Structure 1
Amino acid sequence: MKKILWSLTLFGVILILPVNGVMEFDKMERFTDFNGTNVSQTEKDVNSKAKVTMVGLTLIKNAGLRGAVCLDGSPAGYHFHPGSGSGAKNWLVHVEGGEWCGDIRSCVHSKKTRHGSSKYMEKQIPFTGILSDKASENPDFYNWNRVKVRYCDGGSFMGDNENKDAQLQFRGKRIWTALIVDLLWSGMEYAKQALLSGCSAGGLAAIFRCDEFKNRLLHSTRVKCLSDAGFFVDFADVSGDRSLRNLYTDVIEFQSITTQLPNECLKVYNPTLCFFAQYLIVPIKAPLFILNAAYDSWQIQESLTPKSADPSGSWSDCRSNIAKCNASQIKFFQGFRTRMVKLLGDFTEQRKNGVFLNSCFSHCQTERQETWLSKNSPAIKNKRIAVAVGDWFFERGGAKHIDCAYPCDKTCRNEVVER
């Protein structure tokens, strides 16, 4: 497999158009950088009638001594906005999406970006979507203590090793431990309610760390986890190869992650498979909510129809705009959706769990206000994502929402990167 840099969430200028609409844009190149909400946006860029709250970056104290460092050895960081009123003792910890890197070239590239070094991280970012402090935008969590964890380890917070020759640090596990300790000291230890969430590679991290997060808190604390666009499926690409499986193998071997993977999974599967959410979610004891697009745009573009699997370019238009796919291409994607629904079967049978699987061409839907909660945000049977998540967390009603197959859903928003 050619060693390449894979990115996991969308970055750049995002155009929002109905999924069934007509779009014209240049053919997309493979993503080389990304972030679900594009944290580099300024206050005036955020599409909200209310003034957006900008939150400063906090670097982990004594990060070097604690080993809580990014790929380049700089201190890892997070953004924290304190809660108030009825939410003062509740905590939302949200993990940013980021790149996986599985070789020297890709990791060295990452360490020169905000996804591998705090030197390049924004000093302030807007808190929108699930992080918003506006009741109208985020009715259930707006006044909680809200934390956004910056992603800079290249391995979904699972590694604990280094490559001295390339001057690379794989310290995701130590970052996570230091972060949680600091938050506990800041008051999270006595939380009444807590939600661990994450987007993309951060959504996978939320799955990996879910039970550990719960075990760190009081037995009386209501603790749940939410994975947004972290349900990456082990599925053959259009050439029959397993692109994502190959990538995971590289990441696990290069960062020496095997010993950090769940023992329960390793007893049954090999390490590569134990990096896929489908083999991890059922045994998790804490309540877990899976939010995903059935036609996840990152998975379609980067693991199902990568350019390495499409040398003729026959999937070029389709991979950039699902509305331009022909009948056989749509059939292939329907097979992917069917597989995803089936894999969620045993998971959804557990009463404590929740799912929101919409038929959109999208990736990460919690961080952006347009998809989390707005008058035009995606919905399944008139229930929008923020409402569905809130109903599940507070046990106000049904928590299993699976959309009909494309193109039935007219509420979808199509996210397209303009490079």
Structure 2
Amino acid sequence: MRFLGSANMKLLWVVGFMGLLFCRRTDGTFIREVNVTQEQDLHYTESNVYGYAAYGYGVFTRPLMVGLTLVNGAAAKGAVCLDGTLPAYHIHRGYGSGANSWLIQLEGGGWCDTIRNCVYRKKTRRGSSAYMEKQIPFSGILSNKAGENPDFYNWNRVKVRYCDGASFSGDSQNEAAQLHFRGQRIWKAAMEDLMSKGMRYANQALLSGCSAGGVATVLHCDGFRGMFPATTKVKCLSDGGLFLDAIDVSGRRTLRSMFRRVVSLQGVQKNLPRSCTIRLNPTLCFFPQHLIASVKTPLFLVNAAYDTWQIQASLAPRTADPNGHWHACTNNNANCAAWQIKFLQGFRNQMLNAVSGFSRAGKNGLFINSCFSHCQTERQDTWFSQNPPLIGNKGIAKSVGNWYFDRYSIKAIDCPYPCDKTCHNLVFK
């Protein structure tokens, strides 16, 4: 792990969780970039930060730790993780004005697209509740502090753990490898369990998710709306989930190939929106870009125009860049050459084209900033802090809150890199 800044800069303190570090210099300023190791599970690291300096708070703030709850009775419905263990979630009850308001956060964490990958995954927290943490920190949009999460801090807040590897949408199995692809059933069982614990009485509800959980949010948004009476205010928020069917640096479509394997292996086809599958093949209908315009429920998209996961795993993965020409650039945007930035600007343009029809609907919202980041609602520094990423004079938390509560219409799209100086860019070792 290395630190950003001058070599002789003394650090007053360093705090971290699972490799994600934030540093404050002795002069009181903050190192804005986030430094993580290449081997880290980026989805999990970003969504579970508790060692944060909060970029301007000036004090260490330890978030609420919330225990694991197994979904009892799920096995009888065939709703199990890859290894057959029970699915799970973390819940912190709301109070006061938020007692009947519910925020459901679907965890992200990539996908498994081959038997071999899924067998490996089932021996991790991404495929088995036996390996899940007994407690996790609630920060960002899950925080219980008004000063960190002004609009949702006193809601019932739930983190649904991700243990199927297909964005809560598969329904199949592989007996030989003892793999259970039951994401769709996990989604249904978890929601039924939460409804029985009071969510059925919600007067307000927000379904959200990060990364693969952001894909799941788009896939299940209208179904979530359908669980509640028409009088319940229901909206959805997809963070870092706008994965694009983009051409990689070798001229191929790495992510399309991966999604094709996920959809086929895990039996996702039957659970994809028919509004899409009557027009396109199932693989393309796993890409949110082909789904968002037909989602009837109000939907908000938070995304970095230069999404670091997509840059590393979709645009310039090692398989597409065997000679490593992109290695330095994908690790740190400051190392990108002019021709590489030009390529990335083309990716940004594709993203803006993908949301053009979606953004015309008054019910929808957007916050697309020109940062090198991925998943910004669960990290406290990017969700709500003294120096958050901004578009105009609005940060992500205020933009989402203004949209959810119908205070303002939010269609915020940043100017292209490098104009935004408020970004909390991710830098990899």
- The TM-score with structure 2 as length reference comes to 0.90
| Letter of the structure 2 residue corresponding to residue 37 of structure 1 | E
CA distance in 1, matches of 2:401, 2:47: 24
| Letter of the structure 1 residue corresponding to residue 320 of structure 2 | A
CA distance in 2, matches of 1:333, 1:155: 27
Corresponding position of 1:384 = 395
CA distance in 2, matches of 1:222, 1:407: 38
Corresponding position of 2:251 = 240
1:284–1:317 distance in 2 versus 1, CA, 3 Å: same
Aligned length: 402
| Letter of the structure 2 residue corresponding to residue 221 of structure 1 | T
Corresponding position of 1:13 = 19
Corresponding position of 2:136 = 125
CA distance in 2, matches of 1:286, 1:207: 10
1:116–1:373 distance in 2 versus 1, CA, 3 Å: same
Q: Is the 8 A contact 2:332 2:426 kept in 1?
A: no
Q: Is the 8 A contact 1:71 1:116 kept in 2?
A: yes
Corresponding position of 1:281 = 292
How far 1:84 sits from its partner (Å)?
Answer: 0.2
1:73–1:373 distance in 2 versus 1, CA, 3 Å: same
Corresponding position of 1:8 = none
Percent of aligned positions that are identical = 55
Per-residue CA deviation, residues 281-316 of structure 1 (Å, 9 max, x unaligned), is: 011110000000000000001100001111111111
CA distance in 1, matches of 2:132, 2:289: 32
Structure 1 residue 315 corresponds to structure 2 residue 326 = yes
CA distance in 2, matches of 1:368, 1:33: 12
Structure 1 residue 37 corresponds to structure 2 residue 46 = yes
1:25–1:389 distance in 2 versus 1, CA, 3 Å: closer
Which residue of 408, 416, 424 maps to 1:397? 408
Structure 1 residue 177 corresponds to structure 2 residue 188 = yes
CA distance in 2, matches of 1:16, 1:231: 27
1:66–1:25 distance in 2 versus 1, CA, 3 Å: closer
CA distance in 1, matches of 2:43, 2:152: 26
Q: Is the 8 A contact 1:226 1:290 kept in 2?
A: yes
Per-residue CA deviation, residues 372-419 of structure 1 (Å, 9 max, x unaligned), is: 00012111011010000000000111310000000000000112344x
- Match of 1:357, SS state, is strand
Structure 1 residue 198 corresponds to structure 2 residue 204 = no
Per-residue CA deviation, residues 116-142 of structure 1 (Å, 9 max, x unaligned), is: 000110000111000001000000000
Corresponding position of 1:326 = 337
Per-residue CA deviation, residues 150-180 of structure 1 (Å, 9 max, x unaligned), is: 0000000001111000000000011111111
Q: Is the 8 A contact 1:12 1:34 kept in 2?
A: no
CA distance in 2, matches of 1:299, 1:386: 23
How far 1:34 sits from its partner (Å)?
Answer: 4.3
Per-residue CA deviation, residues 315-353 of structure 1 (Å, 9 max, x unaligned), is: 110111111111110000000001101111110100000
- Match of 1:337, SS state, is helix
1:33–1:384 distance in 2 versus 1, CA, 3 Å: closer
- Match of 2:276, SS state, is helix
The 5 Å alignment of 1:107-256 reads 107-256=118-267
Q: Is the 8 A contact 2:20 2:45 kept in 1?
A: no
CA distance in 2, matches of 1:168, 1:33: 24
- Match of 1:333, SS state, is helix
How far 1:33 sits from its partner (Å)?
Answer: 6.8
| Letter of the structure 1 residue corresponding to residue 110 of structure 2 | E
CA distance in 2, matches of 1:29, 1:143: 35
Q: Is the 8 A contact 1:14 1:416 kept in 2?
A: no
- Match of 1:178, SS state, is helix
Q: Is the 8 A contact 2:80 2:86 kept in 1?
A: yes
Q: Is the 8 A contact 1:23 1:321 kept in 2?
A: no
1:271–1:129 distance in 2 versus 1, CA, 3 Å: same
- Match of 1:282, SS state, is helix
Corresponding position of 1:4 = none
How far 1:68 sits from its partner (Å)?
Answer: 1.7
What is the root-mean-square deviation in Å for CA atoms of aligned residues? 2.0
- In structure 1, list runs of 5 or more residues that go unmatched: 1-10
- Match of 1:383, SS state, is coil
Structure 1 residue 411 corresponds to structure 2 residue 417 = no
Structure 1 residue 358 corresponds to structure 2 residue 369 = yes
Q: Which moved more, 1:28-37 or 1:338-347?
A: 28-37
- The TM-score with structure 1 as length reference comes to 0.92
1:36–1:401 distance in 2 versus 1, CA, 3 Å: farther
Corresponding position of 1:7 = none
- Match of 2:401, SS state, is helix
Q: Is the 8 A contact 2:205 2:234 kept in 1?
A: yes
CA distance in 1, matches of 2:123, 2:332: 31
1:170–1:22 distance in 2 versus 1, CA, 3 Å: closer
Q: Is the 8 A contact 2:47 2:378 kept in 1?
A: no
Q: Is the 8 A contact 2:38 2:428 kept in 1?
A: no
CA distance in 2, matches of 1:213, 1:228: 17
